[in-house]
Structure 1
């Protein structure tokens, strides 16, 4: 069940583990969610068999995979829940409760009435068990630490950095700067009117900078691609290339020379990549203070409003402590390199089938398409490949 483009991207490394098993027929459905615009296009790009939600809730299944909670109680069959981001950083939205739970780990995400809905909860790190014990102890018996697929794919691909840079057509000495933003009021995108002019003024391609904007797909789903492009086009004479939400951001992260980020998962994954990070925004009141994301915000330099951005990136590079960043990255997964084997074992146990007689391999990430030399019009490269029109697809 795919709620959003992000959830679909998180699940892709999971259902690919079932690809070559002729005993298993994988079908997809678009689950209810406020940001599910673009999910159908995402599934069409996979050439997947998609059944309507109304049909999905009337069937019985041997296994259900989900990275979100909405509608999970309506499906019949053993359900495996996975996190849809890294590090369990964000807190649940403020409400009537006195204490906010960690997003994805509270009773509202895992229970329906007095019943724990998932048959299994696949967690990335042993630290998550302590959080779960505090926020939803009823789900501890079904929790299983399997690791993080994105962590393993990035780790497997770090040695291909120069290949990715060549595929992006970065010249010798050019510095790829990714401006990463999650969604919501606490995100960098919500204050882009202050950040974007500085990026365009200070990170000039003539000086060897290649900036690109990497937005959470919910930004496109919530506002529409046209609106996002319209807002960005008003920034001035030069525009900032925007990575399509359909593109795989992970090779770009490996190829980057600097990241300007916030409290989203992408900034945390950047800690794996040996790249200096500058924090543009970090709403501490909305973040789990025990998370690796909070530790990253305490380590990475914060963006200053009074100094040139290029100098701040130089400062971050000069004061970069690789051991400290690696220690934070290690908190993303406590089972590095073992996600595929542990996740496949979990799924086949619930399916009551023997696993295929081969080790599941962790494939390196595919080569990205080239960066545009200049931001094209909506009818040009923005409609294809790495830099898309903005519609979540």
Structure 2
């Protein structure tokens, strides 16, 4: 399978010969006349973002939801996540030939082909990363790198703005959008951030998450978080993990690695497990790419991260943050992530880790991190309300007569280190 430019994809959609929307013209459906919503999943991460919208459409018999996988280099994770959900997946080429009443996407590739009013969402927090060099510059152009997701290349096609609505998390995003793609300002709507709201609502359940993970009350959890790419923590994981394993007493500290699903999609699950196998045998747990990382983040005592969204979301929690890597040249200097890099201590290769962890905890600038966390969403607690209002307005339907609740995150599964060995009070 190839994308719209003829490039091979790393994985493909779970295809069916006929989707439910196409069959509606026949005699096989039980509910007919529904508004048709297409959820466009490019990658596993994009799918995780879009999954937060699905409860807002639940129990409404006026709506039929269908899923498709759009072209992307990291399709493999998207297919896995949709299989796990048990979703009906319409082949991409069929989806772009079918009329829908609404489409939802967190990515840009191929969405100009859709026959539906589109709501675009960000796929991360804070619009931290700059666009890739290849996306911003050509041989005959020296245009500056735009902010990822906010430039014309992400929002326009053939001189027109593609989305019907562009959902933003913070009012400050409008200023960035005015600079990088002012044509999209008329369709921009500030709705807040779903992950922000779910994490905040779940903070009172921290003790339950820690118990579910298998932590004893006196044990400290260190989460090593990595985005993908050359500037990520994982790019130097061979220097970080040996130190953590060697210097931290296992009875006192537990170590878990949380990797961006694109690492798994790009290299393959087997390869990632093989690279980390020696550390897993020494007690390091690896969070599965399809796990809900947010409960793990709430349970952490320290987060060692980089310029990924997960590190920024850690400012909402009780965790102390240290930065293992932070490639300034690839980060939007106006983003909350750039501000976090100035506030969070940088991991030192020259000092013992227990001393660094203690120093970071003692110097933890709680007020400063709270200010940074406030830059994630300017509508705290209101994402469900505002996003549902936007979707139903485009669908031309009245909203259901109840307030959409922000539900606490479910309990996580116990983390595994060695094969078959879960963290438990006796697994020391």
The C-alpha deviation readout for 1:157-176, integer Å capped at 9, x for no partner, is 11111111111121021000
**1:160 corresponds to:** 205
Give 1:1-393 correspondences, 5 Å limit. Answer: 1-94=40-133, 95-96=137-138, 97-206=142-251, 208-234=252-278, 238=282, 240-372=284-416, 375-377=417-419, 380=420
Q: Distance in 2 between matches of 1:187 and 1:283?
A: 8
- Provide the secondary structure at the position in 2 that maps to 1:64: strand
What SS class does the counterpart of residue 54 from structure 1 fall into? helix
Partner Cα distance (2:352, 2:48) in 1: 36
Question: For the residues of structure 2 that align with 1:240 and 1:103, how far apart are their CA atoms?
Answer: 33
Deviation digits for residues 136-187 of structure 1 (CA, Å, limit 9, x no counterpart): 0000000000000000000101111111111112102100000000000000
**Contact conserved, 1:232 with 1:239, CA < 8 A, in 2?**
no
TM (norm. structure 1) is: 0.94
Counterparts of 1:30 and 1:346, CA distance in 2 = 23
CA displacement at 1:241 relative to structure 2: 1.4
| Structure 1 vs Structure 2 CA RMSD | 1.3
TM-score in terms of structure 2 length = 0.86
Report the counterpart of residue 389 of structure 1 in structure 2: none
* Structure with higher RCO (Cα < 8 A, 6+ apart): 1
Question: Do the aligned partners of residues 237 and 44 (structure 1) sit closer, same or farther apart at CA in structure 2, a change above 3 Å counting?
Answer: closer
8 Å Cα contact 2:117-2:163 kept in structure 1:
yes
SS in 1 for 2:273: helix
**Structure 1 unaligned residues grouped into runs of 5+:** 383-393
Structure number with larger C-alpha Rg = 2
Is the Cα–Cα contact under 8 Å of residues 179 and 260 in structure 1 kept in the other structure? yes
Pick closer, same or farther for the CA change 1:141–1:203 going to 2, 3 Å: same
DSSP-derived class of the 1:37 partner: helix
Distance 1:326 1:228, change over 3 A: same
Moved more, 320-329 or 114-123: 320-329
Do 2:127 and 2:335's aligned partners in 1 also have CA atoms closer than 8 Å? yes
Task: Give the number of aligned pairs.
Answer: 377
Give the SS at the match of 2:79: helix
Distance 1:16 1:237 in 2: 39
Could you say what secondary structure the match of 1:345 adopts?
helix
How far off its partner does 1:230 sit?
Answer: 1.6
Please tell me whether the aligned partners of residues 203 and 211 of structure 1 are also in contact (alpha carbons under 8 angstroms).
no
What does the per-residue CA deviation read over 1:286-339, in whole Å, with 9 as the maximum and x for residues that have no partner?
A: 000110000001000001001112211111100012111111000000000000
Segments of 5+ residues of structure 2 without an aligned counterpart are: 1-39, 423-428
Distance 2:282 2:213 in 1: 20
Deviation at 1:204, TM superposition (A): 3.1
The whole-number CA distance in structure 1 between the counterparts of 2:201 and 2:280 is 40
2-side partners of 1:203 and 1:209: how far apart?
A: 6
Determine if contact 1:68/1:81 at 8 Å carries over to the other structure: yes
Tell me the distance in 2 between the aligned counterparts of 1:381 and 1:106.
46
Q: Which residue of 1 aligns with 2:37?
A: none
**Distance in 2 separating the partners of 1:181 and 1:108:** 26
